[in-house]
Amino acid sequence: MIITLSLADSAIHSALSHNTTMITVNVDLGDRAYPIHIGPGLIDDTACFAPHITGSSIAIVTNTTVEPLYGERLRRALAPLGKKISTVVLPDGESHKQWETLNLIFDHLLLQHADRKTTLIALGGGVVGDMTGFAAACYMRGVPFIQVPTTLLAQVDSSVGGKTGINHPHGKNMIGAFYQPQAVIADTATLRTLPPRELAAGLAEVIKHGLIADAGFFAWIEANIAALNQCDDAAIIHAVRVSCEIKSRVVAADEREGGVRAILNFGHTFGHAIEAGLGYGEWLHGEAVGCGMLMAADLSQRLGLLDAAARERIVRVVAAAHLPLRAPELGEARYIDLMSVDKKAEAGAVKFILLDGVGHARITGVDDAQVRATLAASTQH
């Protein structure tokens, strides 16, 4: 199957504005539609939250890193709403994205006598967002939740689209549900507290959006990578906005990944294998995706879909974002085994997301020999 998506939108490529007012991108899913609010200082803005909380109680889910930074600020913003507010603080890290940690959320909700109108608020990065969303999908068979992503990766990718879940030792994100939030409130000022490694991990998903769907945006990233590395306010806001526009259109076209939405997994088939093979948390998700994109680009070139000049552009921008360029040596057999558990596999055959030129993605099966050639060329020796 070949699927291409082009998002030629002149508004996306308009001159970068230094206006710091809130930007809203809408995810058009009919009765499950919701806004993505983007801008600095939104975590303190009561008005951002008010329309999306109808029950009498709120449960904030965060982690040990984010709670000291933003927990009290969020509680202050929510206080004027007159709701009962409680907080559950989870251990930080991808290694904790599993059943035992998920049960901490359920324990908290039950002890707080949370009901079907209790709103969960995910305050943190992708791990917190994925687990909170999954808990919201399961608790009493569904309660509302709001995403408040505090990492670049979460703001441009994981908080948008309704994918929720946890990891399993044999596969990343293999247990979960599609469950849309009431809103995404992306306070770009929170990104200033990110360590450089976390910022780089988020840039991998920004780069991905340009590569799969918008050559013009990818060219903008190439030209502005230094500003993005420095977390320049205007550059970051633009990157978050365009990434959310791209992802929201793909999700609106295919909410449950029956077709075109799979292109959002460019770099992830290899990347998820890296994460599972090394042990969750050894590499950040974005680091594995960044390296996985290079592997997918290599495979695309081997199949004659991508020319050498385009592949070199991808290598340069991934390197400039300070992401890994060589995959860990897990062994070809181990990679193949891990990729066979990928959610895109059908009857044991892995479907790869490849590039048919910059800005165009395709979903296709690949001969095993070509995959092995890419693994041999891409892994550390």
Residues 6 or more apart whose CB falls under 8 angstroms from that of 366 comprise 299, 303, 350, 352, 354
Instruction: Render 234-246 in DSSP notation, one character per residue.
Output: HHHHHHHHHHHHH
Residues 6 or more apart whose CB falls under 8 angstroms from that of 68 comprise none
Q: What is the mean pLDDT of each run of 10 residues along the chain (381 residues)?
A: 41 39 95 97 97 97 98 98 98 95 98 97 98 98 98 98 93 93 98 97 98 98 98 97 98 93 96 94 96 98 98 98 97 94 71 97 95 93 58
- pLDDT at position 2 is 39
Burial 14-35 (b: 16+ CB within 10 A, else e): eeeeeeeebbebebeeeeeebb
Q: What is the spatial distance between Cα 266 and Cα 286, in angstroms, rounded to a whole number? A: 12
- pLDDT at position 344 is 64
Residues 6 or more apart whose CB falls under 8 angstroms from that of 299 comprise 352, 354, 366, 370, 371, 374
Structure token digits, residue 203:
């840039």
Active-site positions? 141, 163, 205, 247, 257, 261, 265, 268, 272, 285
**Exposed/middle/buried for 13, CB within 10 Å: 0-12, 13-18, 19+?**
middle
**Exposed/middle/buried for 81, CB within 10 Å: 0-12, 13-18, 19+?**
middle
Task: Map out the domains of the chain with their CATH numbers.
Answer: 33-193 (3.40.50.1970), 196-230+232-378 (1.20.1090.10)
Q: Quote the DSSP letter at residue 303.
A: T
Amino acid 250 reads: V
List phi, psi (to 5°) of 367: -60, 135
Structure token digits, residue 5:
């998506």
- pLDDT at position 120 is 98
**What interhelical angle do 285-302 and 268-278 show, nearest 10?**
130
